[in-house]
Amino acid sequence: MILGVDVASIARIEQALQRHPRFADRIFTAAEQRYCGAKAERWASRWAAKEAVRKLYGSARAYPLPWMHEIEVVRGGGAPRLRVRGADTSIALTLTHDAGVAIAVVAAESLADATVRLTAPPGMVLAARPDDGNKGTFGRVVVVAGARGFTGAPQLAALGAARGGAGLVTLCVADGIYPIVAGRMLEVMPAPLPDSGTGTLTSEGLDAVREHAQGASALVIGPGLGRAPATVDAVLTILRTLPCPTVVDADGLNIAAASDFDWHQAPHPVVLTPHPAEMARLLHSDTQSVQRDRQTVAVQFARERNVVLVLKGAETVIAAPDGRVHVDSHRVVALASGGTGDVLAGLLGSMLAQGLDPFDAAVAAVTVHANAGLLVEARRGRAGAIASDVIDALPEAQERLRRAIQRDAGARQGDYRS
């Protein structure tokens, strides 16, 4: 825990404001000046807060220290928050004044984390986590993924589901790669599918898929499956007979695109998670056309094909058949690494398994995934992060977002002034 504390004389700050006309402009933002008005204790409290933040940065040896005007105490309903160099932070702040002085205390677990403030978009929901819940409470995800040469994708998807909060995760993989995958899965239950030695999903494994999918809350299909002819037939059969809400990703999308699969045939809600090139294949178009008007493309496809669409990329677009649309505001370069899309597919499956509406599940998964990426970026840097780093950050990102949702709900019920 890193602390910063400062005590400021209210009279001294008031005198500085009176004697030096440019003092306020050099130290305080326009919003701070409007809020403080004629109340000297507010000016002094904000001065103390800025000094306390600089001391916190100094304790963490985070140089150069921010200038006073780069630190802002932000109001907006609820407790005051801190913004540093234009970015929201999660640095905790306490302000008080008494006996002629203003006192500010700031605290953070680590400065890297504190400079990442996780905010939930309006209307975002997460599944409840009751204290008396058990693994059955939080649903079961079945992941159908992987092929010879693509053994990482199924593991990443399954762990994304587990770290996303699903109570149980079963990972169905071809028998030819089962030893590789099973040897690394502890918390996830691996299940071999008969494959006649091919190392790929074939119609021979469909009965086993159906057996494992009985009673499943959500299905994830596609990561690392490959596009062997026998796999194409098996995937199309699964899509026509879905046993539960399903996330279709990667080769599941490529197979559907090449086969012109009619998504209206799917018997349960479907969430598709294409990146721009996969979206272009689904539309029999090109990536440039997709990127030219991402929101219109996503909304139109979701409405016409009766699916929830997650068009991945910087500012991911989520569209529902009923016209709902959400554009995620994040641009996280740390997520530009192989396997992070597999993690998102599994995470989305866990949100479905926990009972969220498909659109709400997509918004929640994309937001948690992006914020996990921000945490990884703060701790490891903009380059070199890998998908397993994101998996490890998922629980913290979700918990901090859950608290943000609770905090915002509390702020709407009352304004705490400082």
pLDDT score recorded for residue 418: 41
pLDDT score recorded for residue 413: 54
| Range list for CATH 3.40.1190.20 in the chain | 140-408
pLDDT score recorded for residue 189: 97
pLDDT score recorded for residue 115: 66
pLDDT score recorded for residue 21: 84
Per run of 10 residues, the mean pLDDT along the chain (length 418 residues) is: 94 94 93 94 96 91 86 84 84 94 91 72 94 95 97 98 98 97 94 96 97 96 97 97 97 98 97 98 96 97 98 96 95 93 98 98 97 89 93 94 81 47
| Range list for CATH 3.90.470.20 in the chain | 2-114
pLDDT score recorded for residue 417: 40
Q: What are the structure tokens assigned to 210, written together? A: 């159906």
CATH class of segment(s) 140-408: alpha beta
Tell the CATH topology of 2-114: Ribosomal Protein L22; Chain A (3.90.470)
